[in-house]
Every structure is written in C-alpha cells, then in structure tokens.
Structure 1
Amino acid sequence: MPAGSGSAPRKGSAARREPDAAFVLDVRSLGRRPGTMRELHRTVTTVERIGLDLIAVPVGAEIELDLQQQAVSEGVLVTGTVRAPLEGECSRCLEPFTDEVSVYLTELFAYPDSTTEQTTDDDESYRMIDDTIDLEPVIIDAFGVELPLQPLCTPDCAGLCPECGVRMAIAGSDHSHEILDPRWAGLAKFATASPGDGSPDEGAATAADHSADMASNMTEEK
C-alpha cells in the first residue's frame, strides 16, 4: 500500500496469485460444511510499505498471522490476530521511532453465487475466488484504521522548542529564552556594558564628580 493512502477500499475479489502463500489462503481443504474450522499460523514478509505517511509497516518486516478459518453458510469467516512491527516519525519532535501494531480481524469472504455475494456491492464485502481468499486488502484496511494520523514517539512528547528548534526532551524542563521588546533592544546594550566603556552611567558619574570639584574650588577662593 502506498504511503499516505490510509485505509484502502474493499476489493471485491482476490487477484490471481499463488495459492496458499503469503496473504493468500487456499480453503479447499476446509470444505463448505458450516462449523468446520482450521487454524492458521503464518509469518509473511512484506514486499511493500503498509501504512500511513508518518507510520507504517516497513518493507521486509515480518507480519505474524494467528487466525482461525470457519466455514459458514455464506462463505468463510476469518477471525484472529495480526501483528507487525512499525517504523514511524514523531509528529511533534520529528524523531524516528519503532513500535508494534496488533489488530483483531473478523471478516467474511463470501462464496461465489452466495446470497451475500449477490446482494452486496464489490466494495461492501470480500469475495472468494477459485477457493482462495486474499487477506492483504483486509490487513491493509485494518492497519489503516488502527494507525494514528499523528503518531508520537512517547505519549508525553514535548516536541521542539519554538525558538531554537531543539528537542525539549534533550533541553530539559528549565529550557527557556528571554524575549526582549525590539523597541528596547538598543538600551539593552547599555545596560550590559562594563564600567569604563563609555556607558551612560559612567558619563553621569564623571559629570557629577566634575561639578563637585568646581564647587569645592569656588569655596576655597572665597
């Protein structure tokens, strides 16, 4: 499934693919007697990315299938758990992270010419074809619903500092920036000036000393 495509529409029938391999199940041995069951435990290696823009099952990942197939009057009911590793990018701090997804499936694959097949549209239910069922579109749909559109590396991720862009997880809770009104930026230079460098305070002190000396000299002359 291409990145960012989300939940795919249901496919009316499985494409002709190698039976009983990867996501395709051959159900001929199950038969059609209602109530007949068969367990399925399989590991499938992905050949394409499955998921959303910021989080997905990567290419080459192993998807674990732990399923039960049950024959019912209208088709084959597939239930069970599908687990897979995830690779994502945090939507707040943009850091890569890994996770795992687990979904529970309950899906009916309709028999050809069954009432379900005849009374539903192709995008409303899944179909069997040549006694096989294709789980790939089911899993794509399930992952598309389960995965978050805005994934987080941790639930309490503080994101990035809006001033300098550093990750707040690294900067710490005491990280801050002093923001000055630009109208006072020029005066701030004088406030931080060192003694003797021509600051206003030094000039005021020099003028005061000069006035005191002049007053003292005038007193002595009298």
Structure 2
Amino acid sequence: MTATAALVVDIVDLPHRIGATKDVCVEAGAPAGLGTAVIGVPEGSSLVVDARLTSLEDGVLARGRADVHVHGECVRCLRDLDEERTVTFDELYYLPEAARAAEDGEDVDDVLLVGEDSLDLEPALRDALVPALPFRPLCRPDCAGLCPECGRRVDNLPADHRHDHPDPRWSALAALLPDRDGSDDPADADGEEQA
C-alpha cells in the first residue's frame, strides 16, 4: 500500500536515545480506502491526527488519536449515517534490522517499519479504525428496513401498508370476477356488447 504523503511525518529530529519523544500534529485529507465498502472515512474529508512518537530500542512507538468523519449507509434501509469519531492508536514501528532479527517465522511485511527519516501514520490509523467500524451498520437497532415490494422505508409507511398479489394459480378464476370499473359482466370487460 502506498504511503499518503500528508500522513508521513518527519523523524529526523527524533533522537535515537531510548525514551526520547516528539509530538506531531497532522491535518490532512483522508486517504482512500479508510474503511469498508459500507462505512468509512470519505476520501479527502478532514482528518486531524495528534501523536507522540517515542524512541525505543527496536523502533518507534506511535501513540495518538485521530478525529475523523465517518460516513456510511444503514444496511437495512439505506439511510445515510454520519458521525464524528475519535480513534486512538498505539503502534510500534520497527527499525528494519530489528524486524528482520525478530522475524522468527513471521512475514516481515506484516509489521510496521520506520522509514529512513520518516514514519507513515496511515497504517496505524487504518489498523485502529477499520476493526472498530460496524460490520453491518444500522441507523438504529430496530430499523425495519425496506418494503420488499415497493422498496420504500417501512418506517415511513402507514401501519396498514401492504401489497395484494393474488396467487397466479387462481388467475383463470379472475376472469369470472366483476371488473374493477364496477361492471359485473365479464363480456363487457372484453369490450363486447351483448345481444
């Protein structure tokens, strides 16, 4: 996954001394794909990240929070869902040599790495946000969803809303019933005049 330039922070001035810290604040547009197919942070929406970076023996600990706008759709009624969220993260970014030494059967690609002189906060933010999003977002727990016949929101329909669909096996008998315009004669329904 490519780094989002706005979420890459410079760590040149973070001393390599264990326990040394640096505070960073990043205001940027949200990267693409920060969420799931039904709910997430819209690409380009405002995103504020405050973090404290701490030098450790094996890398840099990034501990912080991000204020994000989350947009999605109720999976039952398709109503828009919008909310402001604060996401906290606590991730260790390994120095490349420390990651290789600690690999021990793990894929080194699965760990976060410190760059040459920078650190990308996007993976930490993504790892904290995406699992916290609802798998099936609802506008409310008892949402009634959509009418399967007309597709309108059940909550907006009258209590007696229904669709009458006669059983097709009785369709031959329907010809014997009075016409809906008030005529009682099946022959009149066909436009034929009786003698």
What letter corresponds to residue 139 of structure 2 in structure 1?
Answer: C
Residue 47 of structure 2 is aligned to residue 59 of structure 1: no
Extract unaligned runs of 5+ from structure 1.
1-10, 200-222
| Stretch deviating more after TM superposition (97-106 or 182-191) | 182-191
Give the equivalent residue in structure 1 for 2:138: 152
Q: In the aligned structure 2, how far is the partner of 1:188 from the partner of 1:146? A: 61
TM-score normalised per structure 2: 0.75
Q: In the aligned structure 1, how far is the partner of 2:180 from the partner of 2:158? A: 27
Q: Is the 8 A contact 1:110 1:117 kept in 2?
A: no
Structure number having the greater helix percentage? 1
Q: In the aligned structure 2, how far is the partner of 1:148 from the partner of 1:172? A: 30
Task: Work out the percentage of aligned pairs sharing the same amino acid.
Answer: 34
Q: In the aligned structure 2, how far is the partner of 1:117 from the partner of 1:198? A: 89
Q: In the aligned structure 1, how far is the partner of 2:51 from the partner of 2:176? A: 70
SS at match of 1:67: strand
Give the equivalent residue in structure 2 for 1:207: none
Q: What is the Cα deviation at residue 65 of structure 1?
A: 0.8
What letter corresponds to residue 112 of structure 2 in structure 1?
Answer: Y
Give the equivalent residue in structure 1 for 2:73: 89
Q: In the aligned structure 2, how far is the partner of 1:187 from the partner of 1:153? A: 46
Residue 107 of structure 2 is aligned to residue 119 of structure 1: no
Q: Which string of whole-angstrom CA distances, capped at 9 and with x for unpartnered residues, describes residues 32-80 of structure 1?
A: 2222223222211135342221222112201121222111121110112
Residue 20 of structure 2 is aligned to residue 33 of structure 1: no
Matches of residues 68-217 of structure 1 in structure 2 within 5 Å? 68-114=52-98, 116-120=99-103, 121-178=107-164, 180-182=166-168, 183=170, 186=174, 189-190=177-178, 197=184
Q: What is the Cα deviation at residue 169 of structure 1?
A: 2.0
TM-score normalised per structure 1: 0.67
Q: What is the Cα deviation at residue 174 of structure 1?
A: 4.3
Number of corresponding residues? 181
Cα–Cα, structure 1 residues 160 and 62, in superposed 2: closer, same or farther, change >3 Å?
A: same
Larger RCO (alpha carbons 8 Å, 6+ apart): 1
Extract unaligned runs of 5+ from structure 2.
187-195
Q: In the aligned structure 1, how far is the partner of 2:35 from the partner of 2:46? A: 14
User: RMSD over aligned Cα, in angstroms?
Assistant: 3.1
Q: Quick check: which has more Rg, 1 or 2?
A: 1
What letter corresponds to residue 147 of structure 1 in structure 2?
Answer: L
Q: Which string of whole-angstrom CA distances, capped at 9 and with x for unpartnered residues, describes residues 139-186 of structure 1?
A: 233333222332223333211012222111211444334555453873
